[in-house]
């Protein structure tokens, strides 16, 4: 279980995960989710919000791996590579969705809020 742990603590308990990321795989920790699982859980919610709140700005306060999964999806990255996206605590990632074209833009990624 990686909840509430630093990346270093998580990797010390899941030694095979870092090696799998190095091989550009999307491993699933024991009792946890891989990026595909996170994407499959979160993207339907985002898509529902796109329809329900069209034209409005939304703010999500979420975990770094959820941000990685969302960015990977909207930028059409292979999920085996999203672990490469840096996402610090208390950082802002801003994306925009053009409803006419259906395209996403990543306006800022991992912008520090606190210094």
Per the structure block, which two tokens stand in for 19? 């090696």
Q: pTM higher than 0.75 for the full model?
A: yes
C-alpha count within 13 angstroms, C-beta hemisphere, residue 22: 6
Element (H, E) at 35: helix 35-52
* Tokens 């809020």, residue located: 113
Residues 11/18, Cβ–Cβ less than 8 Å: yes
Whole-number pLDDT of residue 22 = 86
Note the pLDDT tens digit of each residue in 21-30: 889 999 988 7
**Looking at 34-102, which runs of residues are DSSP E strands?**
91-98
Question: What is the reported pLDDT for 2?
Answer: 60
87 CB burial (10 A radius; 0-12, 13-18, 19+): middle
Neighbours of 74 (CB within 10 A): 17
**pLDDT (tens place) for every residue of the chain, 115 residues total:** 566 777 788 778 777 888 898 899 999 887 889 999 999 999 999 999 999 999 899 999 998 889 999 999 999 999 889 989 998 888 999 999 998 999 999 999 999 987 6
């Amino acid at each position: 279980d990686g909840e509430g742990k630093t990346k270093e603590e998580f990797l010390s308990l899941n030694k095979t995960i870092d090696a799998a990321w190095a091989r550009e795989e999307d491993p699933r920790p024991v009792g946890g989710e891989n990026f595909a699982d996170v994407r499959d859980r979160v993207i339907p919610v985002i898509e529902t919000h796109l329809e329900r709140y069209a034209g409005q700005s939304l703010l999500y306060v979420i975990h770094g791996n959820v941000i990685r999964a969302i960015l990977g999806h909207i930028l059409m990255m292979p999920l085996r590579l999203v672990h490469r996206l840096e996402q610090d605590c208390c950082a802002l990632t801003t994306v925009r969705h053009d409803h006419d074209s259906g395209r996403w833009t990543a306006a800022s990624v991992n912008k520090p809020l606190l210094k």
